Each structure stands twice: as C-alpha cells, then as structure tokens.
C-alpha cells in the first residue's frame, strides 16, 4: 500500500509504475474511492498511473475540514512525489470538479484533462441530500436507478454499492455539498489544453448536455459519448473508456 503525508495525515493512493515521465492521475467522485479506476490501470500505455483516495475516503485519513481546495492540494502533493514531464488529470463527477479547479489554479502544471461524467456546474438535487440525511442504506440502494444504465450487469453494480457502503453518509453528504457549490460555467472557455470529455448517454446525474457544454467551450477538446452507460461509465463500459483515453493521448501526442 502506498501512502504519503499531507498536513501530517496519510493519503492513500494506488500506483502503477512504468518508470515513465508521463502520468495519468485518477480522481473518484462523491462517496467513491480509488478502486473505481481499477480497469483503467489496464490502459495500454507505458505511462505511470495513480488513483487517489481523497481525504476521508477508503484508506486515507480523516481530515476535520474538507473542501474543494483541500482536494486540489492533496492531488498536487501526490503528483509531486516524482517529477513528471506530462501530467494528465482524469476526474469523475466530483473528481471532474477537482481537476477543473486544479487547472484554474495551476494551469501550467497540466498537459491534459479527462472529464468523465461531470460538468462545469454540478447542482445537486435536494432529494439526494434528504435521502443521505434520512437513511444511508436506502440512499445506497437507490443508486442503481440514478447512477447506472438500466441493463448494467448486477455484479458491477453490487461491487460498487459494497464499496459505497464503506464510506460514511457524512462524507458523501459533504462531497455532494462541494459539487453543489461548484459553478465554473463562465470560465470553461479558459481551458486551453487538450481535453477529453466522456459521458454515458444514460447519465441522469450529470446529463450529456453538461458534456456538450464542455465540448463547445473548450477549444481543444473531443467528446466521446458511450452508449449503454450511465453515470458510472468507467466501471460500466471500461473497454470503451480505456480506448477513448488511449486514442486521446495518441491523437493529441501528449
């Protein structure tokens, strides 16, 4: 297991090393953890890969106050374990907000972005907050309807739900609050680096419209819509996501 210290606390991350000067850093969404990226570690590229457990998630320590900026600084600390020539940030949902915020704060440090089932504004339905407050297990049990394509195999959904059960209702609530406050619609056209936008066509939480907006505003971008996938596209259709990432890296010669 790989840990590093941030503000005297442990941050856990998964690492696949190829001794490369190039790296993709994967950031999970609300109430998730680094394991959602397990399939992406199979991408056929001789790059290094890191998937982070954000503070208070999975094996990372508890931090008293979490915020979008704390998440950004954690990602930066992990990146700096080694000197990389090219850094591509890949974020899902809340993770997409983290990597956009990272780019706006440190634009010269990033070579590319992969925005996966996310948006430039992530308002959260009051029903999600109510459900999280009322009964966490019921919230988890409602996820198959909201977060997955209706025909996604049960084993894939169950595996994710079991991971989500390990996280706390309070942390998931705080993650969604960060999403709810995130609104960079006015700034999106400032993104000037190659950007891959991926969205499941059946995504109900961050609908295709959000990804189309990103595609229109980010000059140097490509949009890949993936059929028969909902909000959890990287676990619902891993092969398609991996192919899209490989094609993006190759075509943009990052």
DSSP class of 46: S
Nearer to ligand COA, 93 or 195 (CB): 93
Q: Closest-CB residue for ligand COA?
A: 119
Residue 26: CB atoms within 10 A of its CB come to 26
Report 123-142 residues binding ligand COA (CB under 6 A).
123-125, 128
> Does residue 46 contact residue 18 with C-beta atoms inside 8 Å?
yes
Q: Would you say 211 or 242 has its CB closer to ligand COA?
A: 211
When binding is defined by CB under 6 A, the residue of 50, 54, 120, 229 that contacts ligand COA is: 120
What's the min distance (Å) between Cβ of 177 and ligand COA? Answer: 10
Element at 76 (helix H, strand E): helix 68-79
Footprint on residues 158-187 left by ligand COA (CB under 6 A): 179
Q: How far is the CB of 224 from ligand COA (least distance, A)?
A: 17
DSSP-assigned states of every residue in 162-196: HHHHHS-HHHHHHHHHHHHH-B-GGGGGG--S-EE
For ligand COA, what does the binding mask look like between residues 192 and 211, x meaning CB under 6 A?
Answer: -------------xx--xx-
By CB under 6 A, which span of 38-46, 69-77, 99-107, 115-123 interacts with ligand COA?
115-123
Q: Which is nearer to ligand COA, 32 or 119 (by Cβ)?
A: 119
Q: How does 193-206 read in b/e, with b if 16+ C-beta sit within 10 Å?
A: bbbbbbbbebbebb
Tell me the pairing of strands 221-226 and 9-16: unpaired
Minimal distance, residue 60 CB to ligand COA, in Å: 21
Q: How far is the CB of 213 from ligand COA (least distance, A)?
A: 4
Positive or negative CA dihedral for 88, 156, 229, 226? positive
The answer to whether the beta carbons of residues 164 and 32 sit under 8 Å apart is: yes
Chain residues that interact with ligand COA, rule: CB under 6 A: 93, 119-125, 128, 179, 205-206, 209-210, 213
């Amino acid at each position: 297991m790989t840990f590093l210290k941030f503000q005297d606390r442990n941050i856990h991350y998964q690492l696949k090393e190829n001794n490369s000067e190039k790296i993709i850093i994967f950031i999970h969404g609300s109430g998730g953890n680094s394991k959602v990226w397990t399939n992406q570690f199979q991408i056929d590229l001789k790059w290094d890969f890191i998937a982070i457990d954000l503070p208070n998630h999975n094996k990372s320590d508890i931090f008293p106050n979490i915020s979008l900026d704390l998440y950004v600084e954690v990602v930066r600390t992990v990146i700096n374990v080694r000197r990389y020539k090219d850094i591509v940030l890949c974020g899902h949902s809340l993770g997409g907000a983290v990597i956009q915020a990272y780019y706006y704060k440190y634009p010269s440090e990033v070579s590319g972005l992969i925005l996966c089932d996310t948006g430039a504004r992530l308002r959260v339905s009051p029903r999600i907050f109510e459900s999280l407050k009322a009964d966490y297990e019921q919230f988890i049990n409602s996820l198959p309807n909201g977060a997955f394509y209706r025909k996604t195999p049960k084993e894939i959904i169950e595996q994710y739900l079991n991971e989500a059960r390990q996280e706390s209702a309070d942390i998931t609530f705080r993650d969604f609050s960060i999403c709810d406050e995130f609104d960079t619609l006015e700034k999106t056209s400032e993104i000037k680096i190659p950007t891959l936008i991926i969205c499941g066509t059946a995504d109900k939480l961050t609908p295709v419209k959000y990804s189309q907006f990103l595609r229109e505003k980010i000059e140097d971008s490509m949009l890949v819509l993936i059929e028969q996938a909902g909000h959890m596209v990287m676990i619902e259709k891993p092969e398609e996501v991996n192919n899209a990432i490989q094609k993006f890296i190759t075509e943009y010669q990052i």
